[in-house]
Structure 1
Amino acid sequence: MRQDSALHDGTAGVSEGAPDGERPTVVAEDAARQSAVAEEQAFLDLATARRDRVADHLRTELSAVVLDPVEQARQRMLRQQYEELRRATDGLVFGRLDGRDGTVRHIGRIGLRDDDMDSEPLLLDWRAAAARPFYTATAVDPQGQARRRHIRTTGPTVVGVDDEPLDGALSAQLVGEGALLAALDERRTGRMSTAIATLQREQDDIIRAEATGPLIVQGGPGTGKTVVALHRVAYLLFAHRTMAEQAVLVLGPSPRFLRYIAQVLPALGETAVVSATCDTLLPGVRVGRDESRQLAEIKGRALWQTALESYVTSLLPRPRELKLRWEGEFYAIPAALVAQALASAVQGRPYHRARAVFAEHLHHLLADAVVEQRETLMAEMEEGFEDILARVDRDLTREQHVGRAPTGSDVDGLLSEEEVEDLRSRIAASASIARFVESWWPTFDAETLLGTLLTDHARLARFAPLLSPAEITAVAAEPTAWASSDIALLDALADLLGTDEAPQPQGEFVADRARRQRGWVYGHVVIDEAQELSEMQWQMVVRRCPSRSITAVGDIDQAEAAHRHRSWAEAVQAVFGDRWTAAELTICYRTPREVMALTEPVLKRAGSHNAPPRAVRSTGITPWELRATAAELAGTAAQAVHELQQRWRGGTVGVIAPAERVGVLLAVLSDVPVLTATQAKGLEWDATLLVDPQGIAAEPRGWNGLYVALTRCTQELGQVILTPAR
């Protein structure tokens, strides 16, 4: 552990019983602390005043009405800067680095310069490369730094400092240990807060890792997976400005989880972010029913991607001779030309895009046929065929009847380039030709098409031959409303069909445009609780980020979804193969040692070969148990929750129970969240009451669920054990 600094944010004072020889030391330490706090208060006041001046200047510029598109783009950039400044209130300044060369750099949520724009920054953005030693320097590797100072603030007031010497003293186990443990001991509010002041080295390494391909981060409970994921978004948007033009997608496991993290990225100044779950990722489509684990597992398999590709391919028309009517005459397009146009149109394009390209080819082929037949007729006429001449006369009469004035072609029978182009335009605009194309190559709706496939035994057997007859029967027997696993299938089918999307207004924030477009390509995707994704859901992710600039964080040992994979290699094999990078978070900051001591046997029962993460803090509170019969369970839980609320007043208490007991508990617990282990994933409370842990373990993948449930508290864990009726 690090040596205690003379400066900290405790309440140093003179004890009445302290020996006289110790009093001068205590007084000196207190005076030094007060001097340091005053020094940092002066700097915070300076930085706050500068932030306010810059914000006022931006607000004035934004008040002007501009019509020029270039100026509008500039105003969008200025508005983002203004919002970043406006949100930078709490924790504007949180750190300081004192270099061995005498330089002093303050670290904050945003970067600020003073009036001299050519000088060193007044306040260094935490994402800047120069700020990295604040998270990574140690006494063993000081990186040119003599001291690191953590500055604690409440609103506009500095309330404490915590100094770490980096001059060769005993290396700290944790970076900013005092500040970190103080933050972990704070009451939970039901909302995640930023952690930029207390990030640890292994977290910072992942946050700043290159975004060149899939990065899969394994981290057990309390290791800060979500903190890392969200701060990585903020870092990437800062370091790669072009990424903000495409937006970043953040995928979470549930709407409750997204509400929990909702304010973190805005607090870090980031707005080019779309948050969603896999169930809400497809615009205009919502889950309408629950489904069995068996069906969820079947429809999450990678085989559906190939099945749907084959299904859509089967909908393509087959080459044959086409006969089209144009202005009273029939024209034949030979099968060989149709096959050539069809092959040229498809070439890996989505179904509807290929259809549009083929229609363009067909318009040209028909125009060529009309021109060719006309020229042939005129050539035959010149040889004296009276019957042909009569037909040409009828053609001329009809063209004059529709209002076309005679041109040079009406005299010699040859169409000019302009007339041929006009002919093609009229063919392309023809409603009758459009009806013909629709009848031969129809358009399809993804929802209707998927419904047809999933309810048809014969089609399922043809296009998904890897399914057993029993599995086909189970799929075909499902209700018509969409379940969670159907969303990924719908997304795959919509992508294969390539349904056109209406253009979006350009004046909006990029996140608003991205949120409404299924085919939007994101600059980066961050996935939390990634172990829960099925193979088809992974395909959804890759479609939205073809560059595969993806960060996925999760704990394979907390997987509760219906899929079969039990390792990251199995989870991502279908979409990434072996082309992905692994990283690991090994330290548990949230869950106390007393609770983590309970998890190793649970992990073994879950079939894991991993060791639980190493807890670095202790609360001194031993997990406790109560026993109750089924009839007593609700009352016992209500009394236990009441006592926990009294002990953790100002904080939060959560209740986790088997799915079958949630309803009974909700009837007596209206002021605390009562969740299943799956619903509690990613959340945390000061105290957790775990009701009927044996019931959770008995659920599908229940030992994994119990591992989740045990590790949600930051301070205290209580359990209500079910006993037989007396």
Structure 2
Amino acid sequence: MSRDAEENAIAEEQAFLDAALARRDRVAADLTAALAAPATDDVARARLRTLARQHEEITRARDGLVFGRIDGLDGTVRHIGRIGLRDDDEQADPLVLDWRAEAARPFYTATPVDAQGLVRRRHIRTTGSVVTGVDDEPLDGASTTELVGEAALLAALDQRRTGKMSTSISTLQREQDDIIRAGASGPLIVQGGPGTGKTVVALHRVAYLLFTHRRMAEQAVLLLGPSPRFLDYIAQVLPALGETAAVSATCDTLFPGVTVERDEPREVSEIKGRALWQPMLQRYVRALHPRPRDLTLRWEGEAYVIGEPAVAAALTSATSGRPYHRARAAFAEQVHQLLADAVAQRRADLLDEMEEGLEELLARFDRRAKTRVDPDRHAGSDVDGQMSDDEIDELRERIADSAAVAAFLETWWPSRDPATALRRLLGDAPLMLRLTPDLSEAEAALVAAEPDPWASSDIPLLDAVADLLGDVAAPEQQGEFTADRARRQRAWVYGHVVVDEAQELSDMQWHMVLRRCPSRSITAVGDIDQTEASHRHTSWAEAVAATMGERWTAAELTICYRTPREVMELTGPVLAKAGSRNAPPRAVRSSGIDPWELAVAETAMPAAVEAAVAELRQRWEGGSVGVVAPVTRTAALRDLLPGLPVLTATQAKGLEWDAALVVDPDGIAAEPRGWNGLYVALTRCTQELGRILPTPV
């Protein structure tokens, strides 16, 4: 494109952006006025929540409102943006087409070979409300590139990293878009190596699903990440895409009010993560149910016995398909009815006895007085021995409100605290062995020897026990957004769950995910070759076999956009030593900087690291630098480098910097599943990789 042509294109797009921003401002003002109206009933409150969500979406959409344009062979022109905007004429075509709309899809998928009715695709670069550049991509000729909007993509990849992930709606690639828009009726597991955009796909898929399936927003979407640091890194993406109906969490924070307080040995973590705990805990909670026997209850000073057969029948009915506490409540209702029936029956029997005695007395009197007494005078409802249905219902309600009856039932069938119940089990090795044949004595002893504070592997077990016992519903607060309600309630059922770094989940963590989405509308993204968790899974089939069997769909991201070709060339031997079954992703860009390494004596390591970091910071000023090191070195390095991210390979998972310094790569490889960890460490940079190795003593 000539300079004059580019200036004309920029002016053209500036005029359009000005019109779009003006329309956005008018819509925002209308929404602000509508939100000022009082909410007088539930319908009005629901409407205000919808308007508030729309206002939030349109407010955040000012920056980057328009980023693309597609020109059709038929002369039609459509602008693509962060949100959809209609002109003042609501019947006209959209002024700006939402990037998630089906009509916008050719922006991401059209190629010169498959132009999909387009003649040109234009990427529009903006800063605030100013158009700063355009990149035109003709679609009516031959092309050798496999990238969509190559110039815009490479420009975005070469930008400095700020420590926060930004949206990628203007540079999504075809294989990413295919996964973002895939169906959501069952589990979709996406394998993708470093730099393939797994997290980008996961986040934009959330935004796409909430836009496409409006009812999903009523249930919210759960986004599970590997660490709080990772969630902080991606925190601004979904709000920038205008989505508020998403809850972000880690597996450790999914149980409200419970905090992980300690680390534990990997061997214990692996044991607690196995699928065997789910049936074991089911048997454990089932064993907490009381056994049938005669129950003696007191009512108004008299004892009433509910026989064992009636108790057994009530237990069978109450426990069928119900968690512990709901079964307990259902049983209590039946006991209230049984006791009411027993009281009514005793009253009837007593009145029958009284009536028989009265009739005999009257008969003797009749013989003496030679007179007759009309029996109908004594056969009314007051003396026939039968309570009316209304009277029995009233009696049952009084029994249900009785503190004495409630205390009796609490003693015989106590309510249970999930934490107390689980701690009792985990501290009792013989009990664990009685409940499952799949634990060895040594393994049960290892689990029982652990201290009380919760470890990460305890959270899925606690969640399972709480689910089997049953929760008390959290009260709803007026005006609350769906995501806020979902965040407070452990048993909330989500419309969809997205799991990032899904290869790290244990079997019991997968069970925790499925409890929150019984429909199994799940998207899991990860790289099985980056697995560092204590479980033993080395393939996706192994990772999900215990919870999903074969009922899941596989997808793959094959192109590495982030990590330079120079760095990816180092990963082959590392993957081989990690036992990988996958081909590494194919890098499509070069940074022009070869990875470098420096070997120094152990005593010189601190100074060498400090100097290397200073050089990298200077070279990548305005961007970001990160350090990855073995667990044993991170504390000292953090003291040496305050304010700089110094992480283990596990903590660095999912993050990226302009430059990464890997300290003691052999030390990382020597850790459990260390070759997988080294693969993670080597692939965190977008531009430059340095390695510092301690020389042998």
Class of the TM-score when normalised by the shorter of the 2 chains = over 0.9
Post-superposition offset of 1:337 = 1.2
Aligned twin of 2:373 = none
What is the CA–CA distance in structure 2 between the aligned matches of 1:634 and 1:412, rounded to whole Å?
Answer: 97
Post-superposition offset of 1:426 = 0.9
Q: 1:214 aligns with which of 187, 206, 219?
A: 187
Post-superposition offset of 1:409 = 4.5
SS in 2 for 1:169: coil
RMSD of aligned Cα (Å): 1.6
Aligned twin of 1:141 = 114
> Which stretch shifts more, 621-630 or 186-195?
621-630
Post-superposition offset of 1:385 = 8.3
Check 1:375–1:388 CA distance in 2 against 1; reply closer, same or farther (3 A cut). Answer: farther
What is the CA–CA distance in structure 2 between the aligned matches of 1:499 and 1:231, rounded to whole Å?
Answer: 33
Check 1:384–1:204 CA distance in 2 against 1; reply closer, same or farther (3 A cut). Answer: same
SS in 1 for 2:662: strand
Q: 1:561-572, aligned counterparts within 5 Å?
A: 561-572=533-544
Aligned twin of 1:201 = 174
Q: Residue 417 in 1 paired to residue 389 in 2? A: yes
Percent pairwise identity:
70
| Counterpart residue type for residue 147 of structure 1 | R
> Which stretch shifts more, 139-148 or 163-172?
163-172
| Counterpart residue type for residue 585 of structure 1 | L
What is the CA–CA distance in structure 2 between the aligned matches of 1:561 and 1:416, rounded to whole Å?
Answer: 65
Aligned twin of 1:547 = 519
Q: 1:309-708, aligned counterparts within 5 Å?
A: 309-384=282-357, 409-708=381-680
Q: 2:688 aligns with which of 702, 708, 716?
A: 716
Q: Deviations over 1:445-471 (max 9, x none)?
A: 011111111111221111133111111
SS in 2 for 1:301: coil
What is the CA–CA distance in structure 1 between the aligned matches of 2:43 and 2:629, rounded to whole Å?
Answer: 56
Q: Unaligned 5+ residue runs, structure 1?
A: 1-5, 7-28, 390-406
Contact 1:180 1:198 in 2 (8 A): yes
Contact 2:162 2:624 in 1 (8 A): yes
Calculate the TM-score normalised by the size of structure 2: 0.96
Contact 2:349 2:385 in 1 (8 A): no
Q: Deviations over 1:616-647 (max 9, x none)?
A: 00011000011111111111001000000000
Contact 1:686 1:714 in 2 (8 A): yes
Q: 1:257 aligns with which of 224, 230, 236?
A: 230
Q: 2:53 aligns with which of 80, 84, 101?
A: 80
SS in 1 for 2:452: coil
Aligned twin of 1:395 = none
Post-superposition offset of 1:414 = 2.0
What is the CA–CA distance in structure 1 between the aligned matches of 2:361 and 2:114, rounded to whole Å?
Answer: 96
| Counterpart residue type for residue 630 of structure 1 | E
Post-superposition offset of 1:172 = 3.1
What is the CA–CA distance in structure 1 between the aligned matches of 2:478 and 2:118, rounded to whole Å?
Answer: 47
SS in 2 for 1:622: coil
Aligned twin of 1:157 = 130
Aligned twin of 1:19 = none
What is the CA–CA distance in structure 2 between the aligned matches of 1:39 and 1:170, rounded to whole Å?
Answer: 26
Q: Deviations over 1:620-678 (max 9, x none)?
A: 10000111111111110010000000000000000000000111211211131000000
| Counterpart residue type for residue 472 of structure 1 | A
Q: Deviations over 1:217-267 (max 9, x none)?
A: 000000000000000000000000000000010000000000000000000
Q: Deviations over 1:185-220 (max 9, x none)?
A: 000000000000000000000000010000000000
Q: Residue 273 in 1 paired to residue 226 in 2? A: no
What is the CA–CA distance in structure 2 between the aligned matches of 1:369 and 1:724, rounded to whole Å?
Answer: 86
> Which stretch shifts more, 645-654 or 89-98?
89-98
What is the CA–CA distance in structure 2 between the aligned matches of 1:693 and 1:58, rounded to whole Å?
Answer: 55
Q: Residue 290 in 1 paired to residue 266 in 2? A: no
Check 1:714–1:434 CA distance in 2 against 1; reply closer, same or farther (3 A cut). Answer: same
Q: 1:129 aligns with which of 102, 107, 111?
A: 102
Check 1:653–1:334 CA distance in 2 against 1; reply closer, same or farther (3 A cut). Answer: same
Q: 1:45-60, aligned counterparts within 5 Å?
A: 45-60=18-33
| Counterpart residue type for residue 331 of structure 1 | Y
Q: Deviations over 1:116-156 (max 9, x none)?
A: 00000000000000000000011111111111111111111
SS in 2 for 1:242: helix
Check 1:415–1:388 CA distance in 2 against 1; reply closer, same or farther (3 A cut). Answer: farther
| Counterpart residue type for residue 225 of structure 2 | G
What is the CA–CA distance in structure 2 between the aligned matches of 1:419 and 1:640, rounded to whole Å?
Answer: 87
What is the CA–CA distance in structure 1 between the aligned matches of 2:235 and 2:189, rounded to whole Å?
Answer: 23
Post-superposition offset of 1:90 = 2.1
What is the CA–CA distance in structure 2 between the aligned matches of 1:367 and 1:269, rounded to whole Å?
Answer: 57
Check 1:413–1:673 CA distance in 2 against 1; reply closer, same or farther (3 A cut). Answer: same
Q: 2:68 aligns with which of 87, 95, 99?
A: 95
What is the CA–CA distance in structure 2 between the aligned matches of 1:353 and 1:417, rounded to whole Å?
Answer: 26
Q: 1:183-194, aligned counterparts within 5 Å?
A: 183-194=156-167
Check 1:386–1:326 CA distance in 2 against 1; reply closer, same or farther (3 A cut). Answer: farther
Q: Between Structure 1 and Structure 2, how many residues are aligned?
A: 682
Post-superposition offset of 1:302 = 0.5
Aligned twin of 2:279 = 306
Contact 2:348 2:384 in 1 (8 A): no
Aligned twin of 1:404 = none
Aligned twin of 1:114 = 87
Aligned twin of 1:3 = none
| Counterpart residue type for residue 658 of structure 1 | P
Aligned twin of 1:224 = 197
Calculate the TM-score normalised by the size of structure 1: 0.92
What is the CA–CA distance in structure 2 between the aligned matches of 1:192 and 1:361, rounded to whole Å?
Answer: 56
What is the CA–CA distance in structure 1 between the aligned matches of 2:604 and 2:112, rounded to whole Å?
Answer: 56
What is the CA–CA distance in structure 1 between the aligned matches of 2:358 and 2:434, rounded to whole Å?
Answer: 57
SS in 2 for 1:715: strand
> Which stretch shifts more, 364-373 or 380-389?
380-389
> Which stretch shifts more, 183-192 or 366-375?
366-375
| Counterpart residue type for residue 531 of structure 1 | Q
What is the CA–CA distance in structure 2 between the aligned matches of 1:285 and 1:244, rounded to whole Å?
Answer: 26
Post-superposition offset of 1:513 = 0.6
Contact 1:287 1:483 in 2 (8 A): yes
What is the CA–CA distance in structure 2 between the aligned matches of 1:387 and 1:430, rounded to whole Å?
Answer: 39
Contact 1:535 1:575 in 2 (8 A): yes
Q: Unaligned 5+ residue runs, structure 2?
A: 363-378
Check 1:388–1:588 CA distance in 2 against 1; reply closer, same or farther (3 A cut). Answer: farther
| Counterpart residue type for residue 481 of structure 1 | P
Post-superposition offset of 1:388 = 14
SS in 1 for 2:67: strand
> Which stretch shifts more, 84-93 or 173-182?
84-93
Contact 1:139 1:171 in 2 (8 A): no
Contact 2:474 2:488 in 1 (8 A): no
| Counterpart residue type for residue 192 of structure 1 | M
Contact 2:340 2:395 in 1 (8 A): yes
Contact 1:381 1:388 in 2 (8 A): no
| Counterpart residue type for residue 65 of structure 2 | L
